[in-house]
Amino acid sequence: MGDFVRVETNEGIGTIRLDRPPMNALNTQVQEELRAAATTVSADPDVRAVIVYGGEKVFAAGADIKEMADMSYVDMAERAADLSSALGALARIPKPVVAAITGYALGGGCELALACDWRVVAEDAKLGQPEIKLGVIPGAGGTQRLARLIGPARAKDLIMSGRMVDAAEALRIGLADRVVPADQVYAEAVALVRPYLHGPAQALRAAKQAVDGGLEMDLASGLAWESQLFAALFATDDRREGMAAFVEKRRPDFTGR
């Protein structure tokens, strides 16, 4: 698909594969190729779930510092929104998305993982937001998504210290959802999303929209948003099939419509 990011589809799973050796640094081209890949898997009805994967050695060690080192305030002011929105495109994929993390997920790589719904992490992997050591802060969702995921105090610890966490700590604080040996990371990611491949696609989409959208609202607004999405599902074939199957005591045959 691109020079450094491609989409591989197999049995309903779309894998967004980063391949920019040696560390999958997220330069401008990779960012835009990730945006394009997110658009592709979002629009493909044959893709029912998504895995973001950097390969057997490394997920993504961060942004391309050499590319940014000589940028001025004006340069970054023009680029920062595009950087954030490129990873935002991953977060808005209306399907279950899991990051399969080997090696390192640091800086922009950690932010890429945070844009996914779940994170499967290798036992020897390291995660973190080390931007503070460069005199900056995370600029592609790290301060916002990390705080929402693990809480503000823990997020401040990681962001303000710049320290890396191992897989065990990541699991303990909620940054990782599953920890497995490195050679099992991709297979475990497949196992995590497999139950959704034949599920009610519109309801899964609505569930993701309800949770993610509700986090940006006060409780009353979130409840109203939930009610709207809930009611809309009564226009779907899968809702009719699901309820009919329940009444008839059989397994539902969802079509995604």
Q: Which two tokens stand for residue 98?
A: 């899991």
Asked if residues 92 and 38 have their Cβ atoms less than 8 Å apart, the reply is yes
As a whole number of Å, the CA-based R_g of the chain is 19
Asked if residues 51 and 193 have their Cβ atoms less than 8 Å apart, the reply is yes
User: Measured on CA atoms in the order 21, 25, 30, 34, is the torsion positive or negative?
Assistant: positive
- C-alpha 181/C-alpha 128 separation (Å) is 19
Given 49, 109, 111, 140, which residue is catalytic? Answer: 111
- C-alpha 50/C-alpha 140 separation (Å) is 20
Q: Which two tokens stand for residue 148?
A: 């929402």
Given 62, 103, 107, 108, which residue is catalytic? Answer: 108
Asked if residues 113 and 59 have their Cβ atoms less than 8 Å apart, the reply is yes
- The candidate with the shortest Cα–Cα distance to 198, out of 231, 234, 242, is 242
- C-alpha 182/C-alpha 90 separation (Å) is 24
* Active site (annotated) includes residue 188: no
* Active site (annotated) includes residue 241: no
* Active site (annotated) includes residue 63: yes
* Active site (annotated) includes residue 11: no
Given 25, 63, 86, 113, which residue is catalytic? Answer: 63
Given 14, 33, 131, 242, which residue is catalytic? Answer: 131
Render 172-230 in DSSP notation, one character per residue. Answer: HHTS-SEEE-GGGHHHHHHHHHGGGTTS-HHHHHHHHHHHHHHTTS-HHHHHHHHHHHH
Catalytic residue list: 63, 108, 111, 131
